[in-house]
Chains A and B, each alone.
Chain A
Amino acid sequence: MNIREKYKKRRRMINVPIAGIGDIAFLLIMFFMIASTFVRQSHVDLSRPEAEELERLRETAVHVSIDREGRIYLQGIEVPNADAVEWGISAMIQDAETEEQRTVIFTSDRDLPENVFRPVIVAITEAGARIAAMGDNIE
């Protein structure tokens, strides 16, 4: 047997098992679909405020935000005023047992005047929630 024949024989023996790759890929997709939490506020148009030494906040169940037009959103749904925020949060956290369960992530557009955002902050407080004010860290 010459060298060429020997080489041909070896090439035929290489066989990469790829049958399971499809299963692995679908398992990866399923994992990411189950492990992902969708951003509820993605449609709210605002510029976040900035400050130094902000800490990483843990994701909580309740979100309140105010967009650059001054529209108030509770859980990503527009509400008419701060009173609606207070009633909504009161209802949502009435069975809260831990500090984390009564934490509300709040954010507002950075340029909004005080008469727009302050009633909402007060409403969250009056509802008995703890505020996690969200912003961007100044590096």
Chain B
Amino acid sequence: MPEKRKKNPERNRIPTESFADVAFLLIIFFILVTTLQRTDGFLTDIPAGEAAEEATDDELTPTVRLGDGGRLLFNDEETTLAELRQQLLDLDLFTKEGEERVVLLESAGTSNYQDYFAVMATITNAGGALAIVEEE
């Protein structure tokens, strides 16, 4: 008669001792390879369609023009970004509502996004509601 194999509980056991090490290695790996994404920017509600046409109709609306090579004009007078910020703050746009907050942004069509972004951020931070003037 063949000898009956004795049950050995140790033989059937799944070795789980190293699970903790594996898990901590995974955590360390993800901590090291993770780069936290910062999302900075500004929020702007640009009027579109009829609202944009209404906003661009008025000749008294403050107008910022972006020319060649980052040249900046505020109401047809040359300015810098820092000066533009002060000029817009002087308009006290934060206290105004609706169309009175609108600042038109015209561009020669040659500026890059960096210049455009800086001007949009300046207008928004000064309390202005941006309206982009489209060429016909």
Seen from chain A, the residues whose Cβ lies within 8 Å of a Cβ on chain B are 18, 21-22, 25-26, 28-29, 32, 39, 49-59, 103, 105, 107-115, 117-118, 121-122, 125-126, 128, 130-137
Contact = CB atoms under 8 A, between A and B. Distances in A.
A42 B118 CA distance: 24
A110 B43 contact: no
A114 B26 contact: no
Contacts of A134: 39-41
Interface string B9-51: 0000000100110011011001000000111111111111100
Contact of B110 (A54, A113, A136): A113
Nearest to B108: A114
A7 to B, nearest CB: 29
Contacts of B52: 125
15 contacts: A21-B24, A22-B23, A25-B20, A25-B24, A25-B26, A32-B30, A109-B113, A110-B117, A114-B107, A114-B110, A122-B134, A130-B43, A132-B41, A134-B40, A135-B117
B118 A51 contact: yes
Contacts of B39: 56-59, 105, 134
Closest 8 CB pairs of A and B: A25-B23, A22-B20, A49-B117, A51-B121, A110-B114, A134-B41, A54-B40, A125-B48
A126 B132 CA distance: 12
Contact of B44 (A32, A105, A114, A131): A131
Nearest to B130: A131
A30 B132 CA distance: 46
B128 to A, nearest CB: 14
Interface residues of B, number: 38
B112 interface: yes
Nearest to B25: A25
B109 interface: yes
Interface in B66-94: none
Contact of B43 (A18, A111, A132, A137): A132
B16 A22 contact: yes
Contacts of B61: none
Contacts of A39: 37
A57 B124 CA distance: 14
Given A52-B121, A53-B121, A108 B113 contact: yes
B43 A113 contact: no
B122 interface: yes
